[in-house]
Amino acid sequence: MKVKVSSFDAKAKAADVELNDEVFGLDPRADILHRVVTWQLEKRRATARGTRERADVARTGKKFGRQKGGGTARHGDRRAPVFIGGGKAHGARVRDFNPGLNKKIRALGLKMALSSHAKAGSLVIMDSLSVKDSKTKTLKGDLAKAGFGKSVLFIDGDAVETSFALAAGNLGHLNVLPAAGANVYDILKHDTLVLTRAAVEKLEARFNG
């Protein structure tokens, strides 16, 4: 599929780029995308630090007083939660929030996320993300002319272009990632996906490799 290459410089002219249909031309499946997004969000979850309960505390288990006539409660050992140094009652448990997902499904999900933007017409290919003098004001003007939408995800090559990263730092409606950080969740939650030529090459090489 051929896509026109855009630029922040209105006078600049760039040749169209040919996108690989095996990466950008798939029919998105909601079930695959749902599985990958769920897996991503589960991987982000952090678990509580497990506390030591009564069975985990290293204290004597010997009954330390007689059953009757001692004038105190009838405790069996010092590991009870009521004592200092005893086990925690109903403490936090370590939980596993890291489900597995087949690598092929993960790769297919990323291809379908890219394809969904291509089919919806919200995929933009740019020659470069260079911003004059790294100024946020300049970038805001360029974005207003481009009319990308409310939320935009920019993906560059090996590293994000320095001037663009500096200019975009204070703009909350857009996010920037290198090609290695491209993921299904971030791609789907933005209205517009902007890729540089370098990003396209990296993503296609990632799947062909």
| Residues 17 and 5: beta-carbon distance below 8 Å | yes
Listed by start position, the domains of the chain span 2-28+102-208
CATH fold of 2-28+102-208: Ribosomal Protein L4; Chain: A; (3.40.1370)
Confidence band, pLDDT 50/70/90 cuts, at residue 209: low
What dihedral angle (degrees, nearest 10) is formed by the CA atoms of 139, 140, 142, 146?
130
* Residue pLDDT, tens place only, 131-173: 888 888 988 888 888 888 789 999 998 898 899 899 988 888 8
**Which tokens is 83 given?**
């004592």
